[in-house]
Amino acid sequence: GLSMVRNQKYQYAYINQSNEEIIKFGQYSWCDSRFVCGYARVVKYCTFEQKDKWGIIDKTGKLTVACQYDCIELFNKDIYRVVKNSLYGLVKANGTSIQDVKYVDIRDISENRARIRLGNKWGYLNENGSIVISIKYDWSSGFSNGKADVEINGDSYYIDINGNRVY
């Protein structure tokens, strides 16, 4: 496998077991310390925008997700939550878009469901990033013991993981 190393100039690189640089020093301003499912997040400083841009590389050093995002966080396995201009989306580590960058918020997974907000409405994604409960609620909580508290038009109630109303 590859190991992340940093030199005295605070530049990052990845080396193989023979201490050969696979991803050269100075190519990125920050790198994940380890690969997850064969991928790692990297940050490159964009002089035009004067800020860091995040991307994802594979173990060969190939950018699978271009350095274009303001932040990238692991969502689930090889799916990442991306942020661009304060909006959220989801991408697979190989670069495939799952949810476009248009959401106000995408929360962490709780009981195989994650809250997602578009405008002022909430819904739920499954662990693969697919919308499984429509984005229609004025407010919602995370799932606990198979139920989530939701509110729509002033009416509060619980739903199950399929979006069915429960009492």
Give the whole-angstrom CA distance, residue 4 versus residue 35. 9
pLDDT of residue 99: 95
pLDDT in tens, the chain (167 residues): 789 999 998 899 999 999 999 999 999 999 999 898 999 999 998 877 788 999 999 998 899 999 999 999 999 989 999 999 999 999 999 999 999 999 999 999 999 999 999 999 999 999 999 999 999 999 999 999 999 999 999 999 999 999 999 97
Residue 53 has phi, psi (to 5 degrees) of -125, 135
pLDDT, position 159: 98
Per the CB < 8 A criterion, the answer to whether 42 and 28 are in contact is yes
pLDDT of residue 49: 74
Amino acid 97 reads S
Residue 84 has what pLDDT? Answer: 97
Instruction: Quote the pLDDT of residue 50.
Output: 84
Question: Could you tell me the two tokens for 93?
Answer: 């580590």
Provide the whole-model pTM: 0.89
Tokens 């476009």 belong to residue:
100
